[in-house]
Structure 1
Amino acid sequence: MLDLQRTLNQVKSDADWVSLRHVTEKTTHRRVRDEKIDGNSVYFDQGVMVEVLVNGHFGFAGTSDLTESGIKRALGKAVAMAKSGSSQKVHNFTTAQRPQAKGIYSSPVIRPIDSMSAKEITDIFVDATKAMKVSDKIISRSAGTMIVETSFHVVNSSGSEVQQNFSIVSTDFSATSGGPGETQTRSDNGGLARCFQVGAEVFNRIDILARSKRIAEESLELLSADNCPDEAMDLLLAPDQMTLQVHESIGHPLEYDRILGDERNYAGWSFVKPEDFGNLQYGSKLMNVTFDPTIADAMASYAFDDSGLKATKEFLIKDGVLVRGLGGLESQARLNLPGVANFRSSSWNRAPIDRMANINLEPGTTKFQDMIASIERGVFMMANKSWSIDDYRNKFQFGCEYAKLIENGKITKTLKNPNYRGTTVKFWNGLKAVSENRETYGSPFCGKGEPNQVIRVGHTTPYCLFSNVEVFGA
């Protein structure tokens, strides 16, 4: 077993500061399609990232060779990288960007993952796909999970020691129906996953079978539904769709490395400018958005980011006004703006960058039925199906799986192929009601950075009502 503190004490370097981050990760996939096993695999990965500070510049080198000599070689590469880059550095960093941190974090697991066998999980998924066969028109049924068990252990020369253990479970269920000239798919999550930091308690047979039957019935319902109308009207979005709306039009544009231009070659820039913080009316006064990695079971909860900054809840947008961005200590120093503890890496072989974590729209005071009753003509959309947003995270277009037409304060019929489009600030300033209840979703596949790193994010969102939105059918 690797003794990280002993290894740190043994390696010698002329660096001003040294850190070792040991990451182990086990990823399990279970999938069933049409009552047959479609996938059953386990992957294991581990390694160490060596990080150094030399001449005001950080250098990194990862290694899967966990011997003392392997880590020493990586240390030498990290020092060489830091020295080489220091002549072109964009900022003179210090250990202030790597505060001392000590602590332990573990996901709130009720029932350990290994308390359920592969067969037990697969049997539930077989029954789930069987429950979806509500008609011969159901032509494809699937159920699956990805289970990720990760450990991050960090020590450094300023006395930090942090151990963080994550148990993350994502589940997805979908049913596709077919009719003359078309197919319609309804999922349990709209392409995003039901992702939580939990244990095997998430595999509740009764709950899974009920959800599976419901989505199959709704898939069948879509075959005979009318197409979504093309007009500007009120738009009510469910929490599963609000998850992607928040992710794309709030989370990404507020990342400081985008605003600085670091991501322009790959993930893109942002329409947000440094002078907008404290001034820009991002949305209506009902809009309150927080960064909060302290929520117990949310996908991207943790105690410290990878710089050692303690994770705390912070308002990004308060009463519609932009007040804070998503930037770790390095970006905060470069922009001279307050940020959050979101300097995160995806694994041992990636350097940390500014990332989303749990970005949440805070609940309002309106009951869902009162939102429906207030709408003279509008559409209620659920579950993301497609999305497109420009490099500046300004103009966007989203498609959903399932919708309901609302007329004179009542839901009247199901609609298929619902879509809507808008521009970020105008759209959010049209927010006119926020529900008092909210739900949690997430994604295990948020990509960014060069070289690319895919990270896990979470969003807790309510039902939201927007005015005068352009909606259209396929």
Structure 2
Amino acid sequence: MQVSDALAVLRPLAADVDFFELRWMRRSHEQLIVRQDVVEPPRLIEDAGFMLTVYQGGAAGYAATADTSRTGVEQAFQTAKRRAELSRGWSVTHYSADHLQKQTGRFRSPIQKPWEKVPLRDKIDLLRELCRDLKKDDARFVDHQAQLHLRRWDMRLVNSLGTDIEQTFDMVNPNLSVTVHDKGVTEMRSMNGQAACRQGGFEVLDDMGYRDAAHKIHEEALELLYAENCPTGLMDLLIAPDQMILQIHESIGHPLEIDRILGDERNYAGTSFVRPDMFGHYQYGSEHLNVTFDPHRDQEFASYHFDDVGTRAEKTFLIQKGLLLAGLGGQLSQQRSGLPGVANARSVSWNRPAIDRMANLNIEPGPHSLNDMIAGVERGIHMQTNCSWSIDDSRNKFQFGCEYARLIEKGQLGRVVRKPNYRGISASFWRNLTKVGNAGTSDILGTAYCGKGEPNQAITVGHASPACLFSAVEVFGGEG
């Protein structure tokens, strides 16, 4: 059954409810992997279904179904209605459509070269070629692989107010990685960790330098294999974009989710050190820190025009000149908390409700070139590519590890060191931000696997960031 047919079925059934919403979603995930020159079986996963939401008497109920027949839609609606009736008087807030507006619109990821126009054989041949470049018949390379992932999400949202929104997202996630070993030492090097994520078509691979990355990864893996261990001490830390995204994600993004601040996530993923009374008053970082929710940036992984409850998405400063201004909360969380938020009620599937999620969360570029930032450091370290992370359940104390680092000594980029790590406290770390790189130091990256909610929702998130320089950071090396 098409969405328009389902809507015709629902209208007479919904005559006595305050509000109803129908969200249809079809998901497709294609995964291609060549590992150690062997082609793994290609994977293609597809599913589709409806999510029905009903407001009745100040309460909400929802139900999902993969049965898109008339009977399936009718049963899902009756289930959602019954759940709303059972929830009446027990809800944490008053559910009403009064704050919702009718919206209509369309969005499609910008695509120059459609994924399906490239033959499967050509994609596999590319992965084979890159695998050969990663290893180059060197016995020290004990593992190497090249991967391509495409996610396509088609969505349509309609409701009783007349909202009708269609959005299609093509999300490309390439990866390259090697593991090397010699004389008891093992190191790994990859292409941005798992952060190489953009919206678009097959052209994304060239935009991200995918075809040229294998040689660099090969050489840097060997550098790490024979490098000294990272030193320990308090020093300046220059963080590359492919590590900055994890820093933004964990110590700005999750703490600013309004439903987490309200306590909704405490049983699963923890709370936040941020309190409601901090907004508009709290100095989150130095004057150089400007953080935006930006759903309209071309190619970024979580760009869209509307969130999954139909709120129009606009670029918003969450932190400006270090001052905390707004949180990551959709319309419902804004209504519950009275806090300023954004259009970020998102769902990973037709069988999950929309909750507060990060989307495109970015640091705005500053005035400094990479050379300028390096030149100003007397003793420091430049870290790239996240490989491990740990943060407490209030998203405050953290410890991150990176794949690759080079020391900075007297304004010069020096020798490579391995197993670099650093730790800090969110509430003070960002106040030590001393320089922010310009657009030339920036990259558009993200993650495909941000987990949150019960049942879990692993959703796509975009992060764009320049390189950033921090002072007086606790740096240390790993074992071995």
Which interval holds the TM-score relative to the shorter structure?
over 0.9
Give 2:447's aligned amino acid. S
Q: Is the 8 A contact 1:32 1:39 kept in 2?
A: no
What do you get for the CA RMSD once the two structures are aligned? 1.2
The equivalent residue for 1:194 is 196
- 1:143 is aligned, of 146, 163, 174, to 146
Q: Which amino acid aligns with 2:2?
A: D
Alignment check: 8 A CA contact 2:195 2:242 kept: no
Which residue matches 2:287?
285
Q: Cα distance 1:8–1:209, how it changes in 2: closer, same or farther (>3 A)? A: closer
In structure 2, distance between residues paired with 1:9 and 1:133:
58
Q: 1:154 to 1:398 in 2, by over 3 A?
A: same
CA distance in 2, matches of 1:194, 1:417: 21
Structure 1 residue 279: deviation in Å? 0.7
Aligned positions of 1:140-179 closer than 5 A:
140-179=143-182
Look up the match of 2:6: 7
Equivalent residue of 1:472, what SS?
strand
Do the aligned residues in 1 keep the contact of 2:239 with 2:467 (CA within 8 Å)?
yes
CA deviation digits over 1:417-444, x for unaligned, max 9? 0000000021100000000021111111
Q: Which residue of 1 aligns with 2:116?
A: 114
The count of residues paired between Structure 1 and Structure 2 equals 472
Give the structure 2 partner of residue 398 of structure 1: 400
Q: Tell me the equivalent position of 1:45.
A: 47
Q: Distance in 1 between matches of 2:466 and 2:327?
A: 22
Alignment match of 1:449 (pick from 443, 453, 465): 453
TM-score w.r.t. the length of structure 2 is 0.97
Q: Deviations over 1:290-315 (max 9, x none)?
A: 00111111000111011211000000
The residue number in structure 1 matching 2:467 is 463
Match of 2:186 in 1: 183
Identity between Structure 1 and Structure 2 (%): 45
Tell me how far 1:205 sits from its aligned partner.
11
Give, in whole Å, the separation in 1 of the partners of 2:46 and 2:359. Answer: 24
Deviates more, 1:98-107 or 1:251-260: 98-107
The residue that corresponds to 2:353 in the other structure is 351
Q: Is the 8 A contact 1:418 1:471 kept in 2?
A: yes
Offset, 1:212: 0.8
1:65 to 47, 54, 67: 67
Residue from 263, 266, 270 that aligns with 1:264: 266
Residue number in structure 2 paired with 1:419? 421
Matches within 5 A, 1:221-236: 221-236=223-238
Match of 2:375 among 356, 373, 376: 373
C-alpha distance in 2, partners of 1:456/1:306?
14
- The separation in 1 between residues aligned to 2:3 and 2:343, in whole angstroms, is 24
When residues 426 and 206 of structure 1 are mapped into structure 2, their CA distance, relative to the original with a 3 A threshold, is closer
Please state how far the C-alpha of 1:154 moved relative to its aligned partner: 1.0
Of 238, 252, 255, the residue aligned with 1:253 is 255
SS at match of 1:59: strand
8 Å contact from structure 2 (residues 9, 74) kept in 1: no
1:296 pairs with 2:295: no
My pick for the range that moved more, 15-24 or 401-410, is 15-24
Residues of 1 paired with 2:72 and 2:434: CA distance? 58
2:95 corresponding residue in structure 1: 93
Question: Which stretch of the first structure deviates more once superposed, 94-103 or 43-52?
Answer: 94-103
TM-score (norm 1): 0.98
Q: Secondary structure at the match of 1:200?
A: coil
Work out the CA distance in 2 between the residues paired with 1:301 and 1:206: 17
The Cα shift of 1:395 comes to 0.0
CA contact (8 A) 1:127 1:209 kept: no
Write the letter of the residue equivalent to 1:381: M
1:401 Cα deviation after fit: 0.2
**Cα distance in 2, alignment partners of residues 196 and 205 from structure 1:** 10
The CA distance in 2 between the partners of 1:60 and 1:158, in whole Å, is: 17
Whether 2:439 is the aligned partner of 1:439: answer no
Partner of 1:327: 329
1:343–1:28 CA distance, 2 compared to 1 (3 A): same
